[in-house]
Structure 1
Amino acid sequence: MRVLLITNPYATSTTRVGRDAVASALASRVDVDVVPTTHRGHAAELGARSVEQGYDAVVVHGGDGSVNEVVNGMLGTPGEPAARGSAPVDPADLPAVGVVPGGNANVFARALGVDRHPVQATAQLVDSLVAGRRRTVGLGHMLDRWFLFNAGMGLDASVVRGVDEKRGTGRPVTNLMYLQTAAAAFLKPELTDADITVEVPGRAPVSGVRFGFVSNTAPWTYLGPRAIRTNPGTDFDHGLGLFAATSTALLPSLALGAQLLAGSGDPRGRSLVRDDDLAWVRFTADRPVDVQMDGEYLGTHRTVEFGCRPGVLDVVAGR
């Protein structure tokens, strides 16, 4: 078995010793080539190379952003959002993707049942690779790119932008940084006064939305060991989940946040717009609004359509 190990030396929680340990563990059981990323977009280039050179699997030791880049490099662009349907390539003809967590949240890896600790995750991964255990998952897409677990417009994307700005000053990314940035964002009218209209199949449009998330699986994210499930009924085998709010007022927001932190299986609220298993979702804003995908800031947009395709990628799952 030929495996390409892609490491991100700049990921939040990776170290040189840890990266060497992952490489050694893989090399003890499979034929592995190790390539560190050196620049933005390099992971996508390596993902495309893994397909061209016929690797059996690609293992990414990094955060969600690195995994997203690799997958987009492997699959190419999804095409027009309206072109929903079967996967463009048989997943069995592509390398399977495995992940050893190396970022802050590691949402995709943990949603697949991968241990949050790199040593244990590597042991899981090696066993699954040798046993040939692969699972096929569906992916979301937007702006002609694939997303693994979530994307959003409005407040959550503004938080991602704020964290990126702090990261740019050399500050380490932590859960506390995300919480502080989110709390500050709620108090900035320019980040919460956008008027977004949400459209989904078979329903009347909902206007007056202040922010919205679209999920491809649950959890939506993690705070340390705590899973935050905005759409508990959404998974890799079905359509998209929608979670949007028509208000950012303090009391309703605190009540909703308390439900999410408590692990509610059915979050509710008067200002909440929520649905699962959707074929597509469209957001249209009255002005350019921040947009994020898998924790990556994508700038401002007025209209974004989210789609999904089933069975598009084989992964090496933790369980």
Structure 2
Amino acid sequence: MRALLIVNPNATSTTPAARDLLAHALSSQVQVRVVQTTHRGHAAELARRAHLDGTGLIIVHGGDGTVNEVVNGLLGAPEPAAMSDLTIGPIPLLAVVPGGSANVFARSLGIDPDPVVATNQLIELLELRERRKIGLAHCDGRWFTFNAGLGLDAQVCEAIDVARAKGHAATPTRYVRTAVRAFFRASGHEPTLTVEVPGHDPVDGVHYAFVSNSSPWTYLNRRPVAVNPDTGFDTGLGVFAMRSMSVAASLPVVRQLLTPGSNPKSRNLFRIDDTPRVRITSSAPIGLQMDGDYIGKRTEVEFVSVRDALTVIAPSRG
């Protein structure tokens, strides 16, 4: 099988040594070509070309942003009414060796966050021919793999992007500090969001909303943070929408999110774990993020779940 290894050399935990180890290990299983990304959007371009030239496997060594680019390069613009028209020929298999800071997508699939361990894991999975189909989601004309959101998390992603541009690493500590600052800046603002899901009355007065395609929503180092624990790659979307920004209402919810095995509940929280779509509108432009990348401000977004959209090299149960 011909394979393309896409490496983002600027990702948090990618190194030339890890790249070379991965390429050497893969050569025992597949005919591998290695390409490093050089600019934003390059991973999508490489994935699109590899798909068109019949490459059977794409391995991503980078963070969640690089994975997102590759997925969008493979599948093209989402057109749910005509999925058969999205691509030309069979879609290559996808594998990920983590190289970013959070690596939410790979870890949600059961891939070890350590690149060396993940490399050995990938070789074993290739030997066993182990793979699984997963669902994806889309909104605003592009795909996302694990989560998207309007409001608070988008503000955090925007601030982290600015910090990265200034040379600051996207560490868990920086994410927490940024999230706390964003929360208190937004706490005095009026809610602008209305959430609509099939089978439920519209929920208004929402300050921020997370939409998940998998669980956990993110990781703090090795600790999973699960906003919709019953959402997964084999279900519809999870929705987590808060109707309060008060400290008294928020702290119990945060405590639940950080407690393993908890099922977040609050009278100020609207949460559903399996819906095919969700429409969120805002009375004023509000930030949107997908897979940790800040997209921009929107007033209306529809999120759609697509089952069995992609086949990945991963343990049968992530």
Distance 1:250 1:109 in 2: 33
Quote how far apart the aligned CAs of 1:193 are.
3.2
Distance 1:191 1:76 in 2: 40
RMSD of the alignment, in Å? 1.7
Give runs of aligned pairs for residues 261-280 of structure 1, distance below 5 A: 261-280=258-277
Give runs of aligned pairs for residues 1-319 of structure 1, distance below 5 A: 1-79=1-79, 83=80, 93-189=90-186, 192-319=189-316
Quote how far apart the aligned CAs of 1:195 are.
1.2
Quote how far apart the aligned CAs of 1:237 are.
1.0
Q: Residue 45 and residue 127 in structure 1: after superposition, are their counterparts in 2 closer, same or farther (change >3 A)? A: same
Residue 168 of structure 2: SS of its match in structure 1? coil
Does the Cα contact within 8 Å between 1:215 and 1:231 map onto a contact in 2? yes
* Segment of structure 1 superposing worse, 266-275 or 191-200: 191-200
Residue 97 of structure 2: SS of its match in structure 1? strand
Q: Residue 277 and residue 317 in structure 1: after superposition, are their counterparts in 2 closer, same or farther (change >3 A)? A: same
Does the Cα contact within 8 Å between 1:86 and 1:310 map onto a contact in 2? no
Quote how far apart the aligned CAs of 1:318 are.
3.8
Q: Which amino acid aligns with 2:260?
A: G
Quote how far apart the aligned CAs of 1:90 are.
8.8
Q: Which amino acid aligns with 1:240?
A: L
Quote how far apart the aligned CAs of 1:13 are.
1.0
Residue 188 of structure 1: SS of its match in structure 2? helix
Q: Residue 224 and residue 191 in structure 1: after superposition, are their counterparts in 2 closer, same or farther (change >3 A)? A: farther
Does the Cα contact within 8 Å between 1:86 and 1:309 map onto a contact in 2? no
Q: Residue 85 and residue 260 in structure 1: after superposition, are their counterparts in 2 closer, same or farther (change >3 A)? A: farther
Q: Give CA deviations for 1:142-178 in whole Å, capped at 9, x if unaligned.
A: 0010110000000010010111111111111100000
Does the Cα contact within 8 Å between 1:158 and 1:191 map onto a contact in 2? no
Percent identity between matched residues is 49
Q: Residue 52 and residue 92 in structure 1: after superposition, are their counterparts in 2 closer, same or farther (change >3 A)? A: closer
What is the count of residue pairs matched by the alignment?
Answer: 316
Does the Cα contact within 8 Å between 1:62 and 1:102 map onto a contact in 2? yes
Q: Which amino acid aligns with 2:17?
A: V
Does the Cα contact within 8 Å between 2:187 and 2:246 map onto a contact in 1? no
Does the Cα contact within 8 Å between 1:175 and 1:224 map onto a contact in 2? yes
* Segment of structure 1 superposing worse, 30-39 or 11-20: 11-20
Query: Which aligned segments of 4 or more residues in structure 1 are displaced greater than 4 angstroms?
Result: 84-92
Q: Residue 254 and residue 194 in structure 1: after superposition, are their counterparts in 2 closer, same or farther (change >3 A)? A: same
Distance 1:108 1:234 in 2: 14
TM-score, normalised via structure 2 length: 0.95
Does the Cα contact within 8 Å between 1:84 and 1:309 map onto a contact in 2? no
Does the Cα contact within 8 Å between 1:243 and 1:274 map onto a contact in 2? yes
Does the Cα contact within 8 Å between 1:239 and 1:276 map onto a contact in 2? yes
The unaligned stretches of length 5 or more in structure 1 are: none
Q: Give CA deviations for 1:85-134 in whole Å, capped at 9, x if unaligned.
A: 86656999211100000011101000110011111101111122233222
Q: Give CA deviations for 1:17-41 in whole Å, capped at 9, x if unaligned.
A: 1111111111233210000001110
* Segment of structure 1 superposing worse, 127-136 or 171-180: 127-136
Distance 1:243 1:87 in 2: 31
Q: Which amino acid aligns with 1:300?
A: K
Does the Cα contact within 8 Å between 1:242 and 1:273 map onto a contact in 2? yes
Does the Cα contact within 8 Å between 1:78 and 1:141 map onto a contact in 2? yes
Quote how far apart the aligned CAs of 1:194 are.
3.9
Does the Cα contact within 8 Å between 1:121 and 1:318 map onto a contact in 2? no
